[in-house]
A and B are shown apart, each in its own frame.
Chain A
Amino acid sequence: MTNISRRGLLRSGAAAGVLAATGLPVMAQAKKGGRLRLGLAGANTSDSWDGRTHSDTFMIMAAFGCVFDCLTEISASGELVGELAESWESTPDAKTWTFKLREGVTFHNGKPFGADDVIESLNMHVAEGSKSAAQPIVAAISEMKKLGEHEVQMVLESGNADFPFLMSDYHLLMYPAGQVDEAIAKGIGTGMYRAETLDPGVRFLGKRVDSHYKDGKAGWFDEVEIIAINDASARMNALMTGQVDAVNRVDFKTEPLMKANPMVKIFEVTGNQHFTFPMLTNLDPFTDVNVRRALKHAVNRQELVDKILQGHGAVANDHHIGPANQYYAADLEQNEYDPDKARFYLKEAGMDGLSVDLSASSAAFAGAVDAAQLYQASAKNCGIDINVVQEPADGYWSNVWIKKPWCASYWSGRVTEDWMFSSVNEAGAPWNDSKWVNDRFQKLLIEARATLDSGKRREMYREMQELDSKEGGTVIPMYANFVDAASAKLANSGTIGNVFQMDSSRLIERWWFA
């Protein structure tokens, strides 16, 4: 059983149940009971149960990780398993997908879950005037058919081997058909916890439902309370004084103090989150690939990891795929800090020196302005004069990102290579923040999407990462770890998800009080 590859499950998710069963011996130690209290940053007064609007940690943990379910789920070790879908299969062209849904599941208001709920919940994202971030995923479905009470068929516009992975996205929550408004107002889902109270930007309280299809595998706490603590010092204090049991986004400055406290455990994973400096490749001087290469060799990556992330990260290689992705090419030639190479590429571009503006703000990522200044210092040795422009954090994403020729930015990463590349590198994608268009890359992107053979996909994604790294329009110096902390009283299976912070936002279901 151990040699099932993550991708092996793609065409048929029937093995999902077996996989879950192999996790049982560890779970036998898990204990039921207690009230879990989380102190989370990322809460807003505009929070609601509408999955289309979710983008910040508080609501992702409360909805995706607690009150609602998706069709599929990515387990802590990275396999795709069924959540509300029991199994799925596709035609060989990866265009038509059939999902078998779990039977006997009910929403918190007693309504049974079925095919209609899936269709209506997905259609929410493409409704007129929808502002959903998952709109492109659902828009790629040309037809949804109810084959039976518990069977749905989806026909895609073009083949997509990753489609079941996309169904695990935290926006694509399942709501009760015909009662969506009520479900959004009150938080009615199929999750292991029933929403008792949601005070937007302040507090959430959930109570364990009596019986659930994940019983015995997850959901150990009787109650869950999430307290919004956006201020970093207050959050760390709350954990240190035992007011909460776990917090997210550990403040690197106080991390050594927390490590010294025997009552607190830090848990840290390297995921796909990466900090970037995208250049608009349709504007001079970034139209010239040699200028882009010179800039890629003018940044001291290890220095940024050490000084900006205080070591909580890893050096990246100018492409958008991260260690949590299946086809991450770790063996590509690393773009190193090399003043000679940088000068060589400048000469290739027909320049003696280069002077460029780099816009940065703390809105892009914590320490972005400092990172830009370190970049400026290391580039000086390469004959490149970087002028750091400090931009206001307010309105940064609307006024600077994809507007200014070169700026700081970040990506939290995506679970699949195709999703990441089609968000940031596909020609015409709204978030293509470098406007980089490469014919070979675009061809591979479309070909890989519809290929089910794992070996071939690995080759194609490797070549795409290489193209992005060598020719792409984005300098990507580092991956930033997800660093969270919990009380020593909490226990887990030993495997922590790295798709998102807080055990891929599944801490509430997966952890327990030792």
Chain B
Amino acid sequence: MGALSRIVLHRLFLGLLTLFVVSIVIFTAVNMLPGDFAQAILGQGATPEAVTAIRRDLGLDQPPVTRYFQWLADVLHGDLGTSFAQANFVSFTGSDAEKASVLAQIGPRFANTMFLAGVTAAIAVPVSLTLGILAALYRNSAFDKVANVFTLSSISSPEFFLAYILILFLAVLNPLLPSLSNIYDGMGLGERLEKTLLPALTLTLVVTAHMMRMTRAAIINLLASPYIEMARLKGMSPMRVIVRHALPNALAPIINVIALNLAYLITGVVVVEVVFVYPGIGQLFVDSVKIRDIPVVQACCLIFAGAYILLNLLADILSILSNPRLRHPK
């Protein structure tokens, strides 16, 4: 296990380095966009005095390099900074500093996104694994082909299109589910689940194909191995061969694909959130880019990058644990 913890530490270190690079790239990119927070927030009503006043209040009059290192120093102290949008408001009132921190703004949104990702994963992972195993079992049958065509066409369609199709069939023509997923604090779990179901189904359609095809391919790949043939010769049922013998050895690639898709569920759901008006981190991210609220954009990107890094790390660890050869290296 010493080797494993060494790998984990090494990977964590590389992950931190990645986060650092990501933060520089994002900061530069947002600064290169035309306009800044003061101009964006004032819009047509911008007068030079008001723009200068807001820039001074928020420190936007400092050169970018100074601002970046200021931000970095704060982050290393565990302070993600103050949202420009809320700081601008607080500078009027001098009150409620708690509300102004990026963490306080992102926290509930991130929880919502995790909830949506959780509900989707709870539906998508079992469904795609089952479909994948069945497709491998009955490969080249009508079932295999239908499942493939269906999942591939849903992954090939743009998300908003899938979302509208689902709204059309499940909300407009047959009013079974609400088309608006405006969940909020203090909502009961039942209602929350009901409101989350349509976006979760949309995302399920998006991620299923990838996981299902990988399961199918990984299992089929193994079916040609001598030990599977041995199992078959012993007279085992095809189902048992696949579930007991093939699946455990196919786990590593499957876990990797699942991790990749889970990361996508956290970082790539902007479009679905906008279509269903789901108050997740993706909407906040888009809103913040629109008004050049750099601290919030930075924090969102760090969360996105962090989710990818951690889930990939987790996938690698699980693949190692699922493979005795890697678990006990010579």
A residues engaging B (CB < 8 A)? 39, 44-46, 48, 50, 52-53, 55, 129, 131, 133, 180-182, 184-185, 197, 199-203, 227-231, 233-234, 237-238, 240-244, 392, 394-399, 401, 409, 430-431
Contacts and interface: CB of A to CB of B under 8 A. Distances in A.
A234 B88 contact: no
A420 to B, nearest CB: 14
Contacts of B290: 394
A48 B34 contact: no
B172 A203 contact: no
Contacts of A39: 180
Contact of A45 (B35, B85, B95, B171): B85
Contacts of B277: 227-229, 231, 234, 238
A237 B277 CA distance: 11
Given A45-B288, A228-B277, A238-B277, A395 B35 contact: yes
A244 B180 CA distance: 9
B217 interface: no
Given A202-B184, A231-B277, A392 B34 contact: yes
Interface residues of B, number: 54
Interface stretch (B37-45, B144-152, B302-310): B37-45
Nearest to A56: B43
A237 B299 CA distance: 32
A190 to B, nearest CB: 19
A227 B35 contact: no
Contacts of A392: 34
Interface in B232-265: none
Contacts of A182: 95
A45 B95 CA distance: 18
A397 B44 contact: yes
Interface string B70-112: 0000000000000111101100111110000000010000000
Contacts of A238: 179-180, 277
Contacts of A234: 179-180, 274-277
B45 A394 contact: no
A315 B274 CA distance: 35
B164 interface: yes
Contacts of B287: 44-45, 201
Contacts of B283: 201
Nearest to A231: B274
23 contacts: A44-B287, A46-B85, A55-B43, A185-B93, A199-B185, A229-B180, A230-B274, A231-B277, A234-B274, A237-B179, A237-B180, A238-B180, A241-B167, A241-B175, A241-B180, A242-B175, A244-B180, A392-B34, A395-B34, A395-B40, A399-B34, A399-B35, A431-B45
Contacts of B53: 129, 131
Interface of B: 33-36, 39-47, 50-51, 53-54, 57, 83-86, 88-89, 92-96, 105, 164, 167, 171-172, 175, 178-180, 182, 184-185, 274-277, 279, 283-284, 287-288, 290-291, 293, 296
Contact of A55 (B33, B45, B293): B45
A395 B65 CA distance: 22
A394 B96 CA distance: 30
A173 to B, nearest CB: 13
Given A50-B92, A231-B275, A398-B42, 7 more contacts: A45-B287, A131-B92, A199-B279, A233-B164, A234-B277, A394-B33, A399-B35
Given A46-B291, A133-B45, A237 B184 contact: no
A392 B57 CA distance: 27
A417 B7 CA distance: 73
A105 to B, nearest CB: 24
B74 to A, nearest CB: 20
B86 to A, nearest CB: 7
B39 A398 contact: yes
B274 A131 contact: no
B293 A45 contact: yes
A129 B42 CA distance: 14
A83 to B, nearest CB: 24
Contact of B46 (A50, A227, A397): A397
Contacts of A203: 182, 184, 279
B89 to A, nearest CB: 4
B184 A241 contact: no
A199 B34 CA distance: 28
Contacts of A201: 283-284, 287
Given A202-B279, A227-B180, A233-B164, A50 B93 contact: yes
Given A44-B291, A46-B41, A131-B50, A233 B284 contact: no
Contacts of A242: 175
Contacts of A53: 88-89, 92
Nearest to B109: A202
A53 B90 CA distance: 12
A257 B102 CA distance: 42
A200 to B, nearest CB: 8
A181 B93 contact: yes
A396 B41 CA distance: 12
Given A53-B89, A237-B179, A185 B95 contact: yes
